[in-house]
Structure 1
Amino acid sequence: MKKHIPNILTLLNLFCGSIAVIFAVNNQFVYAAFFVFLGIFFDFFDGFAARKLKVSSELGLQLDSLADMVTSGLVPGIVMYKLLEMSLPAWGDLETTSLMPTEMSQLEFNAIFPFFGFLITLGSAYRLAKFNIDDEQQSFFKGLPTPANTILILGLPLILEFQNSAFVQSIILNTWFLVGMTLLSCYILNANIKLFALKFKDFSFKGNVIRYIFLIVSVVFVVVLKFIAIPVIILFYIMLSVIDNSTSK
């Protein structure tokens, strides 16, 4: 029975991701974020359970990536699609029959351009496929893990929901800012940057200095910045990893 426990946790991740898809499609980003975070929670503990119970398997590895593809691949793509859609001029109140050819072209552009956000889904799929065939990524990651990238993307609508202001909205709902975030997301997912993993073999401070620093500083960021802390923490994670790589060399 114990060999099935990690796979059950992985399937719960997939279940949460599937629910998050529905909420994201309906612009209910807070609920989508809740189920994504719950899915990431299950995603963390399925590997932990597999190691503790000593029941790691190739099936579990593949199943984990398939679940992540939904929770941490499809959902952020939908969220970015929706944000891009929100950032473009609203044409729904215009009469189609009165549109000039140039205006109709703009209308068509507004309908097609948001699909650009699904580049995040493609980048996530590529990153997960690379991870499955890479034997080196046991104690570290190459590129930003898909759950962290998903938290980064979902942080944008959460900031709009809970810390919205005219200035914040002007930045986050700027079309070119979102395009830049999409391209940045695809890059950091697959960049050849060594990032430390939050996997504790033991809880000693000496062997986990960088992890404890990251967790403590992250808590401070959350207390001070609230939801704006989300992108700041991801950036801090990358910078701390780069610094750690430099000092190790």
Structure 2
Amino acid sequence: MFLLQRLDNTKKKLKGQIANVLTLLNLSLGAFAILYTIQNQLQLALLFITIAAVFDRLDGAVARKLNSTSELGKQLDSLSDMISFGVAPALLIHQAILFEFGFAGAFFAIVFIVCGAIRLAKFNITEANGFFYGLPITAAGCILTIMTLLVAYIPEYVFMINTLILAFLMISPFKVKKM
């Protein structure tokens, strides 16, 4: 009986960590995106950020389905999102086009990262009740990432403007219904 009870407790603990493993995969993919961006392998970095978005979507769904949401999971998710959808896309867009603007391009990329950090910190201390306030960093980061596919077709200054708009949308007060 004791062995069965202990086995059941171990099973519950493992079940509770599945979502965290998915979150860590999200973070790892974001880190790979950063490393490949630094190596100027932008298409591969874009792919890693895209796959990170899939894992980000899965981790929350799995946590809710398995009833294994936790404060640790929430914090870990935000830290992972900062890497995968804040730092990685900002570095990617900088390497793809914003570097041409020198300090201004770097500044805009950093503003995106800072606004993403503010947005995630606000999310972690706010009861959302079915709503997000401001554009979620995952959406902003994915939009910024996809924009890198348009570098050959859109004037350079548009990327600076869009980076700034996305940054401020993340910290804006409007409500977005959770999906």
Match of 1:127 among 112, 119, 126: 119
- Residue in 2 that maps onto 1:184: 165
Match of 2:54 among 41, 48, 57: 41
The code of the aligned residue for 1:3 comes to G
Contact 1:18 1:71 in 2 (8 A): yes
CA distance in 1, matches of 2:159, 2:65: 41
CA distance in 2, matches of 1:178, 1:49: 35
CA distance in 1, matches of 2:17, 2:123: 23
Equivalent position SS for 1:27: coil
Equivalent position SS for 1:195: strand
The code of the aligned residue for 2:98 comes to L
Relative contact order (alpha carbons < 8 A, sep ≥ 6): 1 or 2 greater? 2
Match of 1:149 among 140, 157, 163: 140
Q: How does 1:43-192 map to 2 (within 5 A)?
A: 43-82=56-95, 83-85=97-99, 87-88=100-101, 110=102, 112-116=103-107, 117-136=109-128, 138-160=129-151, 164=152, 168-169=153-154, 171=155, 173-174=156-157, 177-192=158-173
Shift of 1:182: 2.4
Contact 1:76 1:150 in 2 (8 A): yes
Contact 2:20 2:59 in 1 (8 A): yes
Larger Rg: 1
The code of the aligned residue for 1:119 comes to V
Task: Give me the identity figure in percent.
Answer: 34
- Map Cα deviations across residues 204-245 of structure 1 (whole Å, 9 max, x no partner): xxxxxxxxxxxxxxxxxxxxxxxxxxxxxxxxxxxxxxxxxx
Q: Which runs of 5+ in 2 are unaligned?
A: 1-13
Shift of 1:25: 2.0
Equivalent position SS for 1:141: strand
The code of the aligned residue for 1:18 comes to A
Equivalent position SS for 2:127: coil
The code of the aligned residue for 1:38 comes to I
CA distance in 1, matches of 2:132, 2:82: 17
- Residue in 2 that maps onto 1:217: none
CA distance in 2, matches of 1:143, 1:196: 10
Shift of 1:185: 1.4
RMSD: 1.5
* Length, aligned pairs only: 164
TM-score, structure 2 normalization: 0.85
Shift of 1:79: 2.1
Greater shift, 57-66 or 180-189, is seen at 180-189
